[in-house]
Amino acid sequence: MLMAFATYAQPGDIPNQEPGKCYAKCMIPDEYENQTETIVVKEATSRVEVVPAVYGTETEQVLVKAASTRIEKKPAIYTTQTERYRVGCPKGYMDGLAEGGTGTDECYRMVAIPATYKTVTETVIAKEASSRIVTKPAVYKNVTETVTVKEATTRLETVPAVYETRTVDNVLLEAASSRIEKKPVPYTTATETIVVRPASTKWVKKKADRNCLSADPNDCLVWCLVEVPQETRTITKQVMGGCDAGWTQVGAECTRSVEIPAKYGTRTERVVATPATTREVTVPAQTKTISKSVLVTPASEEVVTIPEETKTITRRVVDTPASTKKETTDAIYGEYTRRVRTGCPDGYSFASASSPSDDCIRTIEIPAEYANQTQRVVKSPATTRTIEVPQETRSVTKRVLVKPGGFTEWREVVCGSDVTTALVRQVQQALMARGYNVGAAGADNVMGRDTKAALVKFQKDNGLPVGNLDFETLKALGINR
């Protein structure tokens, strides 16, 4: 084993040669590591997603009945008033207010006071000439008079509005809109060859050199550097194609916009043909007939002369001459009752100030009547949004040569004569301490097949040159030489 590579070297190739030392080129295996590479199976794309139009309802107020007014009536407020009217004077009395009267409201009459007499016997005028006042009573006549009990008035009469039904054409029932049609972009299948493991070289163990002196051919190793071709793998992937005519490619989808026309129709509504009005109706006055006495000729007096009469008689002599006195009394009054309009209830007023009616009115506003008409409208039109579709990848693990192996530079190794049983025992014990199997017999001081296999495995596990018991391996085993 220690002389395995002597045939490969020329004495001039060994650096720092020293007598008594042995040198060999040891085999270092190729160092590989597994590298995971991410390959793209499907490229990143984007697709267009249709965001549908948002519809809502709008409620529109439609005039069903136009605003109008109506007249509300209440009777006026009346109070009862009693009035006195002057009829005249009692029979036999004269009116002081009449022409030639006393000028007062009293009635009067002249009352004759007879003379007082005493009896004397003489020739005397039996009856003196005298005069007497004859009272002519006032002359009255009954007059029939029409008295207004209730004044003529006017009242407002409501003429209701006239309605008609009208059909409105070309009413927008549904606004114009558009919708987005979409379909996926067609794909084609393509194949691609990828390199899993690149081309490399490796050392291949050949048969032992025929000049090897060892009975075990594994003691003398012959290695050849062999070309290892690259390893490839064919993968299949989907490749994006194009869209049909009339379609637009947006990301991974083909889209086109389809216009939806607006919808129109007719609508029937009730409208005011003639608005409500009012008209004034005249209410005639109410009267009644009363009878009363009216002075035609006021009472008066007439003086009548009476000639004297004489005779001799026992006569009575005027002791106190006759006279008159004025007697007064109250005039005669009558009463009649009438209703007098004093006003209207609160919030009401007379229909007309110049020609008030018997009713009080107020105007009440009747608001227009509306109906809610609901129609479907587009709140926001249909749109599109682009959604990014990430690429699809796959992880491929391949073995990559990190450090090529091969023969190292010349290294100093333990000469064959120095490989003693004590050294072999130390190597076996060190390998056993590190868990390597050196054979069923254990440390038997023999560099047998199992011990050599364990030593090679230790060198490979620790990245040491393989094939010889060199000093670097001894140091790794903790053996000092």
Q: Which domain holds residue 424?
A: 1-29+408-481
Report pLDDT for 239: 79
Report pLDDT for 241: 76
- Model confidence at 227, in pLDDT bands (50, 70, 90)? low
Q: With a threshold of 0.85, does the pTM exceed it?
A: no
Report pLDDT for 4: 36
Range from 199-203, 221-225, 436-440 carrying the lowest mean pLDDT: 221-225
Report pLDDT for 429: 92
Rg of the Cα trace of the chain?
Answer: 77
Report pLDDT for 180: 87
Closest CA to 382 of 256, 249, 245, 253: 256
Range from 15-19, 94-98, 216-220 carrying the lowest mean pLDDT: 216-220
Residue 424, φ and ψ in degrees, nearest 5: -60, -40
Domain count across the chain: 1
Range from 4-18, 327-341, 434-448, 454-468 carrying the lowest mean pLDDT: 4-18
Whether the predicted pLDDT of 209 surpasses 70: no
Report pLDDT for 2: 37
Most confident of 24-38, 124-138, 279-293: 279-293
Does residue 158 belong to any structural domain of this protein? no
Report pLDDT for 7: 33
Does residue 436 belong to any structural domain of this protein? yes
Whether the predicted pLDDT of 126 surpasses 80: no
Does residue 426 belong to any structural domain of this protein? yes
Report pLDDT for 27: 61
What does the alpha-carbon distance between residue 272 and residue 280 come to, in Å, rounded to a whole number? 23
Percent over 90 (pLDDT), the chain: 3
| Cβ 36 vs Cβ 400: under 8 Å | no
Range from 36-50, 257-271, 349-363, 450-464 carrying the lowest mean pLDDT: 349-363
Whether the predicted pLDDT of 65 surpasses 90: no
Decide which of 200 and 285 is more confident. 285
Token pair listed for 111: 């009352």
Does residue 327 belong to any structural domain of this protein? no
Whether the predicted pLDDT of 220 surpasses 60: no
Whether the predicted pLDDT of 442 surpasses 60: yes
Most confident of 229-243, 325-339, 424-438: 424-438
Mean pLDDT score, 231-239: 83
Report pLDDT for 64: 74
- Model confidence at 436, in pLDDT bands (50, 70, 90)? very high
Report pLDDT for 211: 34
Q: What angle do CA 181, 187, 191 make, to 5 degrees?
A: 170
Kindly report, residue by residue over 146-188, the tens digit of the pLDDT.
878 777 888 777 888 888 888 877 777 778 888 888 888 888 8
- Average pLDDT taken over every residue of the chain: 77
Kindly report, residue by residue over 71-118, the tens digit of the pLDDT.
888 787 888 888 787 878 888 888 777 766 676 778 888 888 888 888
Decide which of 185 and 219 is more confident. 185
Range from 160-169, 354-363, 440-449 carrying the lowest mean pLDDT: 354-363
Whether the predicted pLDDT of 432 surpasses 90: yes
Closest CA to 48 of 234, 205, 256, 214: 256
Does residue 4 belong to any structural domain of this protein? yes
**CA distances from residue 167 to 56, 424, 433 in whole angstroms, order as listed:** 26, 120, 110
Closest CA to 263 of 178, 375, 174, 179: 174
Residues 6+ apart with CB under 8 A from 175: 262, 377, 378
Does residue 454 belong to any structural domain of this protein? yes
Does residue 185 belong to any structural domain of this protein? no
Does residue 432 belong to any structural domain of this protein? yes
Kindly report, residue by residue over 314-326, the tens digit of the pLDDT.
777 777 888 888 7
